[in-house]
Amino acid sequence: MAFTVIRTTWAEHEPALRHIRDTVFIQEQHVPESLEWDGADEDSVHFIALDEQDNAIGCIRLLPSGQVSRLSVLEQHRNQGIGKALLIAAEEEARARDMKEIFLHAQTHATSFYENCGFSVTGGIFVEADIPHRQMFKELSAA
């Protein structure tokens, strides 16, 4: 399936971003709403994956700190390269902002997905929203 990734803001695409994250994190993974809507969205740059009919099917955000978070793809659209494309878009944004490193809190089931995209684990397992996580980072070269 063809898809495109667009760069956007919370102000421009709040309903679409809320729809994806509500479906994936709150309904599917049972993340409490108070943790999901953490107040960091207005300050983040967001990327959304759109299908051929312009439906929003995945998203990610990059915080000013260099943290990448909320990577999510609707279940019926997984394993088609959308998550990886969203992660690369956030990474390219960080490079354009001259960030030297990006980091994230990976759910432990997803660490091999991130390793596949060039991230390395640092530190041990910790729990967020009742889900085990590991911090991961990726150094960004100038290239």
Q: What is the CA radius of gyration of the chain?
A: 14
Out of 8, 106, 119, 134, the only residue in the binding site for ligand COA (CB under 6 A) is: 106
Residue 16 to residue 70: CA distance in whole angstroms: 13
Out of 116, 122, 125, 130, the only residue in the binding site for ligand COA (CB under 6 A) is: 116
The label of the residue with tokens 């108070």 reads 34
Q: Is 113 in the site for ligand COA (CB under 6 A)?
A: yes
Q: Is 110 in the site for ligand COA (CB under 6 A)?
A: yes
Q: Is 72 in the site for ligand COA (CB under 6 A)?
A: yes
Q: Which residues contact 141 (CB under 8 A, 6 or more apart)?
A: none
Footprint (CB under 6 A) of ligand COA, residues 9-28: 24
Q: Is 79 in the site for ligand COA (CB under 6 A)?
A: yes
Number of H helices, E strands in the chain: 4, 7
Q: What SS3 class is residue 6?
A: strand
> Minimum Å distance from CB 49 to ligand COA?
8
Q: Is 83 in the site for ligand COA (CB under 6 A)?
A: yes
Phi, psi for residue 32 in degrees, rounded to 5: -60, 140
Which tokens belong to 42? 């207005």
Out of 7, 18, 84, 95, the only residue in the binding site for ligand COA (CB under 6 A) is: 84
Q: What residues make contact with ligand COA under the rule CB under 6 A?
A: 24, 71-73, 78-84, 106-107, 109-110, 112-113, 116
